[in-house]
Amino acid sequence: MKKLFLLLVIFSLVTASAFAVSLDELRNSPERYKLVQANSLGEEYIDINSISVMRYNPPYYTINATTYIVAYDKTVIMQLDNIFFYNYNQSVNSLVKKFITPEEVTARIKKDTGIKSQIKGAAVFNYDGSIQETYHQYNLSNSMYIPLKADDIFLPSYMSALYSFYKSYNMYFNPPSKGQLF
């Protein structure tokens, strides 16, 4: 039994190292890693190859994607395996088509952007790609859905969700803002 447990631990560490990414790789592979947000504290990249549509049932959509947050204040790279949930009825475009006033659209978007995010796994790497924290797979029933509000539009998860939708459907879920890099 102890040998089986030891083999499982070793396998999980080897599997985690297969996903390691360095800062140089993120910056020098734009065909694979898309920069979706940058500010004075860090950058966020999305692994274009990881974007996969899990649900297409308009107005509801679900997309999986892996993002990498370069945290300069922490000197680490955080890998997040995300699930993004979309309700297109709550998008700016849909709300505008309902002939409601711009003030009503703004009020509704402030409450709910139509996007929820869930982190299903995480890992932390040093800039050279070496693992700092091992990969954790969370039980989805225990993880939290995070509704993204208008105050969150410049958060990394919101930008990644928008880019994932754009890349999957070649259309914007919500109109791009000046802070978006795509």
In tens, the pLDDT along 26-73 reads: 999 999 999 998 889 999 999 999 999 999 999 999 999 999 999 999
181 within a domain of the structure (yes/no): no
Residue 134 has pLDDT above 60, yes or no: no
Q: Which residues pair with 77 in a beta bridge?
A: 70, 125
Residue 179 covered by a domain: no
CB atoms within 10 A of CB 35: 18
Tracing tokens 């949930």 back to the chain, one arrives at: 85
Predicted local confidence at residue 110, as pLDDT? 81
167 pLDDT above the threshold of 90 = yes
Instruction: Answer yes or no: is 86 within a domain.
Output: yes
Predicted confidence at residue 159, as pLDDT, reads: 87
Report the C-alpha gap between 146 and 85 in whole angstroms.
10
Q: How confident is the model at residue 136 (pLDDT cuts 50, 70, 90)?
A: low
Greatest distance between any 2 Cα atoms in the chain:
65
147 domain-assigned: yes
Q: Are 165 and 180 in contact (CB under 8 A)?
A: no
| Count of domains observed in the chain | 1
Phi, psi dihedrals of residue 82, rounded to the nearest 5°: -110, 155
Whether 177 is in a domain gets the answer: no
User: Beta partners for 129?
Assistant: none
Residue 97 lies in a domain: yes
Give this prediction's pTM.
0.78
| Distance separating the N- and C-terminal Cα atoms of the chain | 51
Question: What residues make up the domain containing 100?
Answer: 2-169
Tokens of 56: 């297409």
- Is 182 domain-assigned? no
